[in-house]
Amino acid sequence: MTGPSGAEEHEPAVHSLVDGPGQLSVEQWYAWRVLQQASLLLPSRLGRLLRDRHGVIWSEYQVLTTLRRERQAAHLDAKEYEGVRIGTLAGELGVAHASAKQIVARLHPFVELSNDRADGRAVRAMLTERGEELALACDLDVAAFVRQRLVDITPDADLEAVRRVLAALCVRLAVEVDPRLPSPRAGGEVPELPYREEVRDG
């Protein structure tokens, strides 16, 4: 095939990506492409929803929902709520420590910063009462979004299969960053990602 410049051009070598030894089949390649597209579309659509309804962008929502989860866990365990270390938030968001701190700062007065009692060098983010209300409102909208576009139209068995596949992928990727995390085994139960401060913050 001849290009605009008159030079000969070649069609993309699709076979270099699929159907070769150690490569991906066509079905496997398209499964990967669908996962890749969904991972881009979901934050974009949800981010627009949260921004329009609550004035919150996607990274800020991730902080809010993480802090709300930890706040609820402390309440269920009858423990004093101490918030979450900035390093832990940075690990969950996949951003640098300084970036996580900037996101938290933007969320004031819904989130407050405090020094870690056990380690004065560490800083913790804590959800306030107003932050709890905002996080709950955001979570409800996200849940409705997910139910309408996924849960209500997908059989339970397929949802479970998706959960296991994505959970295993998350764990494998996390293990590459921190080898101390448990690795999933073929055909076995996928271990939960332990978002513990001793793992994330070292």
Q: Give a three-class secondary structure readout of 36-99.
A: HHHHHHHHHHHHHHHHHHHCCCHHHHHHHHHHHHHHHHHHHCCCCCCCEEHHHHHHHHCCCHHH
Residue 9 confidence (pLDDT) above 80: no
> Residue 109, preceding bond cis, omega within 30 degrees?
yes
Instruction: Retrieve residue 141's tokens.
Output: 């909208």
pLDDT per position as a tens digit, 14-62: 444 555 556 888 888 888 899 999 999 999 999 999 999 999 999 999 9
Smallest CA-to-CA distance from 60 within 154, 138, 152 is with: 138
Segments of the chain assigned to CATH 1.10.10.10? 46-143
Distance CA 160, CA 150 (A): 12
pLDDT per position as a tens digit, 131-179: 999 999 999 999 999 999 999 999 999 999 999 998 888 888 877 766 6
The class that CATH gives domain 46-143 is mainly alpha
Burial of 148 (0-12, 13-18, 19+ CB in 10 A): exposed
pTM over 0.85: no
